[in-house]
Amino acid sequence: MLYVIPTNLRTNKFPDMQNNASAVNKKANLIGALTGLSRILGLVREMLTSRLIGAGLAQSAFVFAFQIPNLFRKLFGEGALSSAFIPVFKSEIDSDRKKQAEEMARALSSMVTFLLTLICLLGLLGISVAIPFTEDGGRVNTVLRLTRIMLPYSVLICATAFAGGMLNALGKFGKTAFAPALLNIIWIATLCGIFFFPHLDLYQRVKIVAWSVLISGVLQLMYLFFAVRRCGMSLTPTFSGWHTEYVKLVWGNTFIGAIGMGAEQINLLLDNLLAMWAAPWAPAAISYAERIVYLPLGVVATAFAAVLLPSFSSDFARGNEEHAAKTLTETLEDLLLIMTPASIALIFLSPEITRIIYEGGKFDSTDTTRISRALACYAPGLLAFSIYKILTPWFYAKKDVKTPLRIGLWMVGTNAILNIILVLTLPVEWKHAGLAGSTVVCSVASCIILALKIRAGSRQVNFNLLINPAVKYLFASLLMCASLWFAKHFIGELVGKQGWQSIATFILAVLVGLSVYTLAVWRLSPKTFRRVLGF
């Protein structure tokens, strides 16, 4: 069953705008630059965290507790609700019904805030009752105490993400992309402050960081709340309009999408439970590896996805599926150009990258080995994770939330079974890497099935056009790795391989490899190369 906008909500009146791949690239470049700032700050944050807190129980407990707000964010923030809300909201804006769009947004945001506040209060009560029955300083006790601090962040970040979805639909992508940087700025400032109090134990340090997360949530919400007001709209709470046709439509789609995303997040929590059971350090090791993967993923794939949903929504509303199909295939080609070398380089350089970024202080060479193993297993998934983010907006823009739901549920079940098998069978030092590898396998399968569904439902989409570019970028990536290997050994002999010399060698070798790849792609696919750069 497909949820569609009622006939009386459709329109053929749209502003003059370019929705082709070049226009998508320009918008995605802006989002990517600002998201890149946030991701780089996030990497700095993790570098400080690794040295001040390490990769032990305290950090693992924090990672697990932080998953709770992220669960709600995926359901009621930038996940299921935004995917259902943006197409309907944008349709109203493009139809010159700005007042109705604002009323719908206020009603939905008020309902979500009220619901999450109630859940948060019940959760805080339950945690407070449960804590006395846990071992003081144990795994469960530490997780519960940190969760109690950060649970209200769920309300703040969901309201923030909802405001960000409005801004994206209004074409104000930059403000939404910058908001996460506020979290990292506050987080980094907190860690720098902790540096001057070396007497604090690890739990006290993560507790202070947890409070900083809550403070950053307030600042993010205020920033985007006022950004929405500057666009001539308001998100002030209201109890009216909760039963309108628009709101019911969005909630119907949200409910279906939330089943799949909820299952995905529950599966993520299960992964962390299995990791915590496998070893106290495992959740932290997985988290540190994910942070490196999320840097290119957030800069490129998330930026494309944020632009594609409103772009596809406009194309489908006008009945211009051919244009949407062209945008999809060109965007996927652009993604292959960027992510193919990134995935291969992460596999090839995982030990060096982990050591340079994290090692030092509370983080030793054993931690480096553990995290580099997880990173090497995650690396092939970088391409799959990115493609998945590009394919799903196609379905959401068509108001088809059931197809991603069905595929997601199958993959969640498969991933859970694989995870349990791998945790039970792999050696202790490889269990966490098995969890990462299982996630990648299921992501690849999801992408294949989504692509087949798109192709079966649209004669306009021709994924065969991507075969030739994919072969070219793979060949260029292998040339890049070969040049990296030779450069690393040659420069290492000249500069040295100890301390800062190893970092200099690594940077120079990466520059050589990047230059070789750029030259190869420029010769093999000059048109796509210029499009990605926005020329």
First to last CA, the chain: 41
Please state, as a whole number, how many other Cβ atoms lie within 10 Å of the Cβ of residue 534: 11
> Token pair for residue 369?
């080995």
Place of tokens 């995926």: 74
pLDDT-based confidence at residue 45 (cuts at 50, 70, 90):
confident
Q: What is the mean pLDDT of residues 82-96?
A: 73
Give 474-526 pLDDT, tens digit per residue: 999 999 999 988 888 888 777 666 667 777 888 888 899 999 999 998 888 88
Asked if the model's pLDDT at residue 51 lies above 60, the reply is yes
Domain residue extents for the chain: 17-461
Work out the number of other CB atoms within 10 angstroms of the CB of residue 471.
Answer: 11
CA 115 – CA 122 distance, rounded (Å):
11
Task: Choose among 64, 346, 41, 309: nearest CA to 192.
Answer: 41
Mean pLDDT of the chain: 81
CA contacts within 13 A on the Cβ side of 499: 1
pLDDT at 473: 92
- The residue type of 361 is G
Burial class (CB in 10 A: 0-12, 13-18, 19+), 64: buried
- Contacts with 315 (C-beta within 8 Å, 6 or more apart), sequence order: 19, 321, 323, 324, 327, 397
Q: Which residue has the higher pLDDT, 98 or 24?
A: 98
pTM value surpassing 0.85: no
CA gap 157, 162 in Å, rounded: 9
Q: Would you say 469 and 332 are in contact if contact means Cβ atoms under 8 Å apart?
A: no
Determine the residue type at 359.
E
Is the confidence at residue 265, as pLDDT, over 60? no
For 482, the token pair is 């070969």
Nearest alpha carbon to residue 516 among 524, 527, 504: 524
Helices (H) and strands (E) in the chain, counts: 19, 0
More confident residue, 445 or 294: 445
pLDDT band of residue 20 (cuts 50, 70, 90) is low
Q: 286, 261, 264, 247: which is closest to 435 by C-alpha?
A: 286
Element spanning 278, H or E: helix 245-278
Whether 13 contacts 159, CB under 8 Å: no
pLDDT of 250 above 80: no
The helix/strand/coil state of 360 is: strand
Q: Confidence band (pLDDT; 50, 70, 90) for 262?
A: low
Give the model confidence (pLDDT) of 393-423 as tens digits: 888 888 777 788 788 778 878 888 888 898 8
pLDDT at 32: 64
d(CA 194, CA 196): 5
pLDDT on residue 14:
36
Q: Which two tokens stand for residue 32?
A: 């990517």
535, pLDDT greater than 60: no
User: What is the pLDDT, as a whole number, of residue 507?
Assistant: 85
CB 183 within 8 A of CB 164: no
